[in-house]
Structures are given as structure tokens and as C-alpha cells.
């Protein structure tokens, strides 16, 4: 197996929150990400799914160095990125880029498309203006836009085209990994497939890796090679995408699959096995964090934190049922 | 049996300030809904589905007006009602569930007051009967310990609970029809599944008819009996959910069905080229023709009329009658 592009080990992020009155102030911790491990291979898409508040966006922010992890390491092509400085740090920032959910708020309305896409080049390279112009035209063509749209402003584009511009900006610096934070959720249904297909095409031609964050299991499973499922800050299951859909092991993954909407009215409908809502990350349940909603919880689940281990080849799960 | 709701050739237009431009948000749509039935109204943003709903309940913004057509509800003509008469229908006979539960609940009133209001005005319930009714409604939408929770305020509830409370308010006046406008868009998947199951149960228990406005075909597949697909202010295809999923006649319906990811399938998705049209500058002929894989010269010049494919199945497409559905679908997904 080749060396992974990105390897995350024991990643933790706790956010402090003040509780109590003015005099009895004390600090509690929101455990947003708790000991998450995964690796992304070259030309691979790793899907990251979970419900709101499960820590998937925090994980993305940690990888993008927008937040400093409380503990753990992030390795990029072998180097620990938390220790990078100067040129090496700039190289990392160049190689790892992001596309956000809402292309209406992630592109500056005052900048021309050319300047939006060229900005990373101006920061990271000493290319001449002519070279930059050429590179911008090249990436615009890569994402399926005409090079002559470079002089327009974002408001002149539809949502799907804006998301293409955001992808072009993320690609312009010879990127190796793009963090895609729900890149199609804000788009019209008829446009989503365009963007998904474009992303797959770019991966096939450029060999770029994706961390694809989403909550729609069918969509994430479609584009991803492997899928990591998060619940309340913990990574509960990680497996090959088709394997995960066919043989989900963790009761939470099983519930997500049941909750997924059918593709046809004749698909059989099971009732959801889990009740209630995600507990507060401020006071997560003891032991396995899912035990309060789990239909198969045992006394042990409330006491012992399950460790994620291989239950099948390339299929790991954090659940006492499979110990 | 007369249908519960019968919309005939409804036209709702928006006029710009000064009256120089008219946008035909809803342009001649017809559909019926029987008691206890669920209709899915689907389409992309800006296709007129929300305007259709607002026309039915008489809550159009000032710039919008019903320019033609009829809306018959339980045999009564709604387009001729005064706003005072409409107020007696809204809440009592027709209720609405909106997309954002935070915006549709008043943060300053307790849950009790908000759930009680329709029953107070429309069912004239008072005192203990009213309190009992509110508890019953909250219990029916699975709010735990309703006696205590009804004294709470919206900010003390989670998103899923708030949306269930909006559901309780909708049921409070004992309506015959609920219009649900993308009620689960802001909810997490497991909460969405719980909410959809709950709506099904409530429908079975009360026999209420539901119009489900959504862009999510999965929700239609799970919840609806019939579906109407809207594009640029028109219903382009209308029929039973099963028929449309098995062999849609209109290329837009087929394209939408081909563009959604199926769980566990790696088949490439069908991407609809282009983007939804601007209602102020619609293409000539069939509004879908610039994006249609099967467009013919006639589609550019003439607007397609409604073709019937059996008793309860219509589509507006010149090609639909001519082209066998299976072949067209294979072509679309190739």
C-alpha cells in the first residue's frame, strides 16, 4: 500500500465554555472531537458522515489548521503538520484546500472570478501575471467553465457555477487534498449531480484526494471509496463504502441506513430503531456515547468506552457487540 | 365523491413595482386531492411550489395576486373569499407547516399558548378541556411529559421537538388538509425519519390530507400517494408515485429521478445540463427545452399541451406520447 496523503491520529479538540454565575464561574469542556484516527490515500475519497454536532466540521477545521487540536497528530506525506513552520507550512496550506457548503457566502462579491482564483497563486507562488492568467484559464476549463468568465463577478453566476468557481480556487495550487464540507447541500437538486460528477472527473484526471463531509448517506456513499461515521465526537465505524452500506455493523450506522430515504416507493420501509436526539456534547454519556439511544445496549456499554478495532478486513467498528 | 381540494387552471402572478413586469410564478396548474390522500408537490427552488401553497391559503405577499383559475375546497370557492372568511378557514380546515420551526414559533409565548390558540378560536375550547386537548396533542407528537413541557418556551426545545410542536399546532384546529412546505429540510436524518413516521401515524389516526412540498424525491417515495412535478410555474407531470418512479413520461421527471444517488450504487448520476430558468425571462415553447435531451424543433416554438396517459396520469411534453418510456430512460441514464 502506498503512503497515505493525510494521516490523523488520536485527534482531540475540547472547547472551553464558562458556566455558572459571575462568582462561581467554572470552565466546562465541550468534547467536540474525541480520539479520531483515519488516513486518506492518494486519489481516494473518504466520506465523513454524522448528524449536526457530531464533530465533522471541527475535524475539518483541525485538518485545515483553523483550530489547534487539544491532542493528537496530523501527518501530511509523513510530516507532522502541527510542527510545520515557514516554507514547509506554506507548502502544506498550498496542498490542502477547502470548498464550503454555501457558494453564495464563500465567494467575495467584490472580487472578479479571476482575482478569486488567482489569490492563492499570488500568496504562494512568484508567478508572473501572464502565467497566473494562463493558470486561471486552465483551472476554469478543468471545472467546466469558459476561460472568458474570469472577468465576471460571482453574482453573475448560478449556484452550481459558483460552486465550480470555488472548486477551481481550491485546485489552482496543485492541491493534493480538498476538504469538501457539504459541497452540494445548498444546490438545487438538478445541479447536484453535475457537481458530483465533476468532482469524480477531476479526481480521475488529477489524482487529488477528497475528504467529503455530508449527512446524506446515499450521496456520500456514491462519491466515497471509504466512509467514516462519527457520533458525538467519536469515530464509530470506518469501512469501504459498499461494504458499509451492505453490512453496517455499528447500531448507529444501521440506524442511519434505515433513516436514509428510499430511492423507490416499493423499497421496504423499516421503522427507525433509535429514539430521541443526540445528547449534548457538554455532558456526553459515559462509556459508549451512543448507549443512551442504542437498541442493543448492554450494561457494559455505560461503563466502558469501546475501542475501534477490525471486525472484518478493512472494516473497523467501535462497539462492544463485536469484541 | 367530490375531492377535498380541486385546483383548476390556477394562475398566480407577481407584478413589479410600477407594474412594468409580470412574473407568472404559477401559470395554469390543476390538481385534485381526496380526503386522507398525500400529494407530493416537487420541483426546484423558484418553480412555483410555495406560491401554489400560499395561493391556496390566501397568504400571498402584496405583490402577488391570483390572476385566474379556481380553488375549490370542500365545495367552497376559496378565491372569492374575503380575508375575514379566509381567517376562519386557515387553522380550522387548512393548516400549514413551514420549513423553519424556529421562525414559525413565537419565542415570547409558551408552547401551551401556541398549541392552544387554534383550538381556542376554532373549536371554542376553554379551561380544562383546552388544557387536556393541548396535552393530548403534544402526546400525539411524542413530546415527553407534556404537562411540564407545555409551560416551556421554544428556545428550551431542540430542533426536532420544535418541528413536532409546529405539527401539534397544525393539528390543533382539527384540519382536513395540512400543507407541509419542506418541513424536514433543516432536520438531521434520524430526526427526519422519526418525523416522517410520525406524520404518517397522525394521518392514519386523523384521516387528514397532506400536500407535501419538497425537492427531495426520497421523501415523495416514502410519504406520498401521488405526485405533481413542477417546472417554471407549470405542472409538467402528474400521476401516482409508483407510475412516475417506474416510467416517467416527462424528460424532466426522468432526469430528476436519474440524478439522485441510490444507496450503495456506484452508477454514474445523470446530470441535467444548464440551470433552472429565470421566471421573468422564460424560454419559448416548452420551458424545459434548452435542458432537454429529447428536444425537437416543435418544443422550441410551441408550448406542449397536456397529454393523458390513463385516468390519473398527465404530462406536458410533445415527445412523451411518441417515445416509449423505457427507451428514453435508458438514453437519459446512458
CB-nearest to A190 from B261, B268, B276 is B276
Taking the alpha carbons of A303, A305, A311, A317 in that order, is the dihedral positive or negative?
positive
Look at B222 and A266 and tell me if their CB atoms are within 8 Å. no
Cα dihedral A217/A221/A223/A224 (nearest 10): 120
Coil vs helix vs strand at A99: strand
pLDDT value at residue A27? 79
CB-nearest to B256 from A52, A190, A275 is A190
Dist. CA B292–CA B328, nearest whole Å: 12
Give the residue from A49, A189, A203, A204 with the most B CB atoms within 10 Å of its CB, the best one to mutate.
A189
Look at A218 and B190 and tell me if their CB atoms are within 8 Å. no
Cα dihedral B135/B141/B145/B148 (nearest 10): -60
Q: Are B96 and B53 in contact (CB under 8 A)?
A: yes
Q: Which residues of B touch A258 (CB under 8 A)?
A: 193
CB pairs under 8 A between A and B: 124
Segment 152-171 of chain B within 8 Å of chain A by CB: 158, 160-161
Q: Are A216 and A47 in contact (CB under 8 A)?
A: no
Q: Are strands B38-42 and B177-181 parallel, antiparallel or unpaired?
A: unpaired
Closest CA to B74 of B225, B177, B183: B177
Dist. CA A235–CA B314, nearest whole Å: 48
- Measure in Å the smallest separation between the Cα of B209 and chain A Cα atoms: 19
Give Dmax over CA atoms of chain A in angstroms: 67
Q: Which residues of A touch B242 (CB under 8 A)?
A: 265-266
pLDDT value at residue B325? 52
Whether B276 contacts chain A with CB within 8 A: yes
* Closest chain A residue by Cα to residue B260: A193
Q: Are B242 and A264 in contact (CB under 8 A)?
A: no
Q: Alpha helix (H) ranges present in A71-128?
A: 86-95, 113-124
Look at B264 and A161 and tell me if their CB atoms are within 8 Å. no
pLDDT value at residue B332? 55
Look at A256 and B190 and tell me if their CB atoms are within 8 Å. yes
CB-nearest to A189 from B44, B161, B273 is B44
- Measure in Å the smallest separation between the Cα of A217 and chain B Cα atoms: 7
Whether B241 contacts chain A with CB within 8 A: yes
Dist. CA A147–CA B207, nearest whole Å: 57
Using alpha carbons only, what angle is made at residue B125 by residues B121 and B130, rounded to the nearest 5 degrees? Answer: 115
Q: What is the pLDDT confidence band of residue B330, given thresholds at 50, 70 and 90?
A: low
Whether B100 contacts chain A with CB within 8 A: no
Quote ipTM for the complex.
0.83
Dist. CA B227–CA A246, nearest whole Å: 30
Q: Are strands B209-214 and A226-231 parallel, antiparallel or unpaired?
A: unpaired
* Closest chain B residue by Cα to residue A219: B261
Look at A193 and B259 and tell me if their CB atoms are within 8 Å. yes
End-to-end Cα distance, chain A? 27
Domains, chain A: 6-276 (3.40.50.300)
pLDDT value at residue B333? 54
A61 to each of A38, A180, B21, how far by Cα in Å?
15, 11, 46
Look at B221 and A265 and tell me if their CB atoms are within 8 Å. yes
Give the start-end residues of each E strand in chain B: 5-15, 22-33, 38-42, 64-73, 76-77, 94-97, 177-181, 209-214, 226-231, 234-240, 307-308, 314-315
pLDDT value at residue B261? 83
Element (H, E) at A225: none
Look at B272 and A275 and tell me if their CB atoms are within 8 Å. no
CB-nearest to B266 from A190, A222, A266 is A222
Q: Domain map of chain B by residue range? A: 35-45+81-228, 248-274+283-333
Whether B255 contacts chain A with CB within 8 A: yes
Q: Give tens-digit pLDDT for B81-135.
A: 999 999 999 989 999 998 877 788 999 999 999 999 999 999 888 999 999 999 9
Dist. CA A202–CA A198, nearest whole Å: 6
Q: Are B237 and B289 in contact (CB under 8 A)?
A: no
Burial of residue A267 (CB within 10 Å: 0-12, 13-18, 19+) is: middle
Burial of residue A3 (CB within 10 Å: 0-12, 13-18, 19+) is: exposed
Q: Which residues of A touch B45 (CB under 8 A)?
A: 188
| Angle in degrees, 0-180, between the axes of helices B127-140 and B111-122, rounded to the nearest 10 | 120
- Measure in Å the smallest separation between the Cα of B192 and chain A Cα atoms: 8
Q: Give tens-digit pLDDT for A210-256.
A: 999 988 888 899 999 999 999 999 999 999 999 999 999 999 999 99
Coil vs helix vs strand at B65: strand
pLDDT at B319 over 80: yes
pLDDT per position in chain A (323 positions), as tens? 578 999 999 999 998 887 766 677 777 888 899 889 999 999 999 999 988 888 898 999 999 999 999 999 999 988 999 999 999 999 999 999 999 988 889 999 999 999 999 999 999 989 999 999 999 999 999 999 999 899 999 998 988 899 999 999 999 998 999 999 999 988 888 889 999 999 999 999 999 999 999 888 888 999 999 999 999 999 999 999 999 999 999 999 999 998 888 888 888 888 877 877 788 778 889 999 999 999 999 999 999 999 999 988 889 999 999 98
B151 to each of A115, A251, B144, B146, B307, how far by Cα in Å?
54, 35, 13, 9, 54
B35-45+81-228: what fold? Rossmann fold (3.40.50)
* Closest chain A residue by Cα to residue B160: A277
Q: Which residues of A touch B158 (CB under 8 A)?
A: 277
Q: Is B124 left (phi over 0), alpha (psi -120 to 50) or beta?
A: left
Whether B102 contacts chain A with CB within 8 A: no
Q: Give tens-digit pLDDT for B142-156.
A: 888 888 899 999 988
- Measure in Å the smallest separation between the Cα of B324 and chain A Cα atoms: 21
Coil vs helix vs strand at A62: helix
Q: Which residues of B touch A260 (CB under 8 A)?
A: 189, 218, 263
Look at A221 and B192 and tell me if their CB atoms are within 8 Å. no
Dist. CA B91–CA B93, nearest whole Å: 6
Amino acid at each position: 500500500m502506498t503512503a497515505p496523503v493525510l494521516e490523523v491520529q488520536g485527534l482531540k479538540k475540547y472547547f472551553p465554555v464558562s458556566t455558572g454565575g459571575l462568582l462561581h464561574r467554572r470552565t466546562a469542556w465541550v468534547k467536540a472531537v474525541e480520539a479520531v484516527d483515519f488516513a486518506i490515500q492518494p486519489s481516494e475519497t473518504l466520506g465523513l458522515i454524522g448528524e449536526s454536532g457530531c464533530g465533522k466540521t471541527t475535524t475539518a477545521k483541525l485538518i485545515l489548521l483553523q483550530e489547534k487540536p487539544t491532542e493528537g497528530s496530523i501527518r501530511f506525506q509523513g510530516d507532522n503538520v502541527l510542527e510545520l513552520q515557514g516554507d514547509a507550512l506554506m507548502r502544506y496550506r498550498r496542498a490542502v484546500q477547502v470548498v464550503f457548503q454555501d457558494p453564495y457566502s464563500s465567494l467575495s462579491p467584490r472580487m472578479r472570478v479571476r482575482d478569486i482564483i488567482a489569490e492563492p497563486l499570488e500568496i504562494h507562488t512568484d508567478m508572473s501575471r501572464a502565467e497566473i492568467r494562463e493558470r486561471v484559464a486552465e483551472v476554469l476549463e478543468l471545472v467546466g467553465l469558459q476561460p472568458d468568465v474570469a472577468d465576471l463577478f460571482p453574482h453573475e453566476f448560478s449556484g452550481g457555477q459558483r460552486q465550480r468557481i470555488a472548486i477551481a480556487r481550491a485546485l489552482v495550487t496543485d492541491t493534493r487534498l480538498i476538504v469538501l464540507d457539504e459541497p452540494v447541500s445548498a444546490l438545487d437538486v438538478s445541479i447536484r449531480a453535475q457537481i458530483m460528477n465533476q468532482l469524480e472527473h477531476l479526481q480521475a484526471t488529477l489524482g487529488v484526494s477528497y475528504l467529503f463531509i455530508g449527512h446524506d448517506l446515499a450521496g456520500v456513499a456514491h462519491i466515497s471509496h471509504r466512509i467514516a461515521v462519527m457520533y458525538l465526537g467519536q469515530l464509530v465505524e470506518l469501512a469501504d463504502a459498499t461494504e458499509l452500506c451492505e453490512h453496517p455493523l455499528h447500531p448507529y450506522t444501521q440506524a442511519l441506513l434505515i433513516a436514509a430515504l428510499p430511492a423507490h416507493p416499493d423499497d421496504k420501509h423499516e421503522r427507525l430503531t433509535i429514539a430521541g436526539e443526540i445528547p449534548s456534547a457538554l455532558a456526553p454519556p459515559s462509556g459508549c456515547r451512543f448507549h443512551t439511544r442504542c437498541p442493543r445496549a448492554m450494561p457494559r456499554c455505560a461503563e466502558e468506552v469501546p475501542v475501534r478495532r477490525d471486525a472484518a478486513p478493512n472494516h473497523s467498528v467501535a462497539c462492544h457487540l463485536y469484541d | 365523491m367530490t375531492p377535498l381540494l380541486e385546483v383548476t387552471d390556477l394562475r398566480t402572478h407577481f407584478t413589479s413595482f410600477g407594474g412594468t413586469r409580470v412574473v407568472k410564478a404559477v401559470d395554469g396548474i390543476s390538481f385534485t386531492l381526496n380526503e386522507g390522500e398525500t400529494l407530493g408537490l416537487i420541483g426546484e427552488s423558484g418553480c412555483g411550489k410555495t406560491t401554489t401553497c400560499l395561493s391556496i391559503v390566501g397568504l400571498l405577499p402584496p405583490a402577488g395576486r391570483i390572476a385566474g383559475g379556481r380553488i375549490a375546497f370542500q365545495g367552497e370557492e376559496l378565491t372569492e373569499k374575503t380575508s375575514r372568511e379566509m381567517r376562519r378557514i386557515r387553522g380550522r380546515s387548512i393548516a400549514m407547516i413551514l420549513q423553519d420551526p424556529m421562525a414559525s414559533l413565537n419565542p415570547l409565548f409558551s408552547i401551551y399558548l401556541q398549541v392552544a390558540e387554534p383550538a381556542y378560536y376554532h373549536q371554542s375550547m376553554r379551561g380544562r378541556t383546552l388544557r387536556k386537548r393541548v396535552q393530548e396533542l403534544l402526546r400525539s407528537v411524542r413530546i415527553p411529559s407534556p404537562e411540564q413541557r407545555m409551560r416551556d418556551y421554544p428556545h428550551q426545545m431542540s430542533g426536532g421537538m420544535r418541528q413536532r410542536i409546529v405539527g401539534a399546532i397544525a393539528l390543533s384546529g382539527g384540519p382536513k388538509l395540512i400543507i407541509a412546505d419542506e418541513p424536514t429540510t433543516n432536520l438531521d436524518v434520524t430526526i427526519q425519519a422519526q418525523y416522517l413516521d410520525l406524520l404518517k401515524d397522525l394521518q392514519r389516526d386523523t384521516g387528514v390530507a397532506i400536500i407535501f412540498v419538497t425537492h427531495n424525491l426520497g421523501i415523495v417515495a416514502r410519504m406520498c400517494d401521488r405526485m405533481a412535478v413542477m417546472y417554471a410555474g407549470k405542472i409538467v407531470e402528474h400521476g401516482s408515485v409508483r407510475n412516475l418512479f417506474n416510467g416517467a413520461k416527462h424528460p424532466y421527471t426522468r432526469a430528476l429521478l436519474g440524478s439522485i444517488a441510490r444507496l450503495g450504487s456506484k452508477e454514474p448520476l445523470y446530470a441535467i445540463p444548464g440551470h433552472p430558468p429565470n421566471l421573468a425571462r422564460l424560454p419559448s415553447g416548452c420551458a424545459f427545452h434548452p435542458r432537454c435531451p429529447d428536444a425537437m424543433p416543435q418544443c422550441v416554438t410551441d408550448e406542449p399541451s397536456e397529454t393523458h396517459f390513463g385516468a390519473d396520469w398527465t404530462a406536458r411534453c410533445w415527445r412523451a406520447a411518441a417515445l416509449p418510456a423505457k427507451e428514453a430512460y435508458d438514453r437519459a441514464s446512458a
